[in-house]
Amino acid sequence: MSAAPLRVMSLQDLKALKRRIEDAAREQAEQIARQREREAAERRERELFARTVGPVVPLKPSRRALLARPRPAPEPLQRQLDEQAVLREALSDDFDVETLLDTDDALSWRRPGIGPEVVRKLRRGGWSIQAQVDLHGLRRDAARERLGGFLREAQRHGLRCVRVVHGKGNGSPGRRAVLKSKVQTWLVQKAEVLAFVQARGSEGGAGALVVLLDGSTASSA
C-alpha cells in the first residue's frame, strides 16, 4: 500500500499561517500587559492605603463568648392603630341631639357651616341614594356597631348620599321610636356626616333618614 502524498504548502498558505501566529502572539502580549497593569494598580492602592492608615497591628484573639442578643418583641402597631380608630369611632348614647335638630314639617339636621339650601336639596332628592343600611330590629349595641361600620365603608368608597333605615318603632314598647333617636344621636357625632333629613314617603318616611356625607374624606386604601 503506497503512502499518501505529502501536501506542499503554498506561499499563500504560509503567509496566512504567519498572520495567525502573529495575531496569537500579539493577543497574548496584550493580555500580559493588561494583567501587569491591573497588578500595578492594585499595588499602588495597597501602598496608598498603607501610607494613609499607617502601621496595622492585628487584634489579639478575644476569649469572650459571643452571645446572641434577644430580639425585641414586635410592637403591635396595627392593633394600636385599630384601637385608636375604634376610639375615634366610638359613638356615645349620652349625646343630647334634641338641641341640634330642626323640628319643622320633617326632621332635619345640618352641621355648622352647611347652609339650609343643602338640607332643602337633600330633602328634594338632589343627591341619588348610593347605599343603605337597615338597622330595623337590631338591639342598640348591634345597631351602633353596624352603623359605624357602614359609614366607614361609605367614606372609604367616597359615597355622598346614603340611607339609614331605623324603623318607626311600631314594635317597641309604648310604640316609641327608641332606635330612631339613637341613630340621630350617633350621626351628629360623625365628622363625615354633613346633614340628614327624614326620608320622603317613597324612601321610608319616618322610618329612615337620608344622610349627606363628605365625599372628600374618602380613604385612598
**Model confidence pLDDT, tens digit, residues 95-116:** 555 545 554 556 889 999 999 9
Query: Do residue 127 and residue 175 come from a single domain?
Result: yes
Is position 114 within any domain? yes
Is position 76 within any domain? no
> When comparing pLDDT for 216 and 22, which is higher?
22
pLDDT grade, residue 170 (50/70/90)? low
Is position 82 within any domain? no
Mean pLDDT for the stretch of residues 178-188: 88
Q: Strand order in 131-134's β-sheet?
A: 102-103, 107-110, 193-198, 208-213, 161-165, 131-134
Query: Do residue 21 and residue 128 come from a single domain?
Result: no
CA distance 170 to 144: 20
Query: Do residue 112 and residue 181 come from a single domain?
Result: yes
Give the gyration radius of the chain's Cα atoms: 43
User: How far, in Å, are 59, 69, 79, 85, 156 from residue 76 at the CA level?
Assistant: 42, 21, 5, 14, 24
Taking the complete model, does pTM exceed 0.75, yes or no? no
Is position 212 within any domain? yes
Q: Which domain holds residue 16?
A: 11-54
Query: Do residue 43 and residue 97 come from a single domain?
Result: no
Is position 77 within any domain? no
pLDDT grade, residue 221 (50/70/90)? very low
Query: Do residue 184 and residue 104 come from a single domain?
Result: yes
Query: Do residue 49 and residue 100 come from a single domain?
Result: no
The pLDDT of residue 99 is: 46
Overall number of domains in the chain: 2
Is position 71 within any domain? no
User: How far, in Å, are 73, 108, 182, 212 from residue 151 at the CA level?
Assistant: 35, 19, 15, 11
Strand 131-134 to 161-165 pairing: parallel
Phi, psi of 208 (to 5 degrees): -155, 160
**Nearest in space to 149 (alpha carbons), one of 115, 157, 124:** 157
pLDDT grade, residue 90 (50/70/90)? low
User: How far, in Å, are 47, 51, 58, 59, 60 from residue 54 at the CA level?
Assistant: 10, 5, 13, 15, 18
Max distance between CA atoms of the chain, in angstroms, equals 132
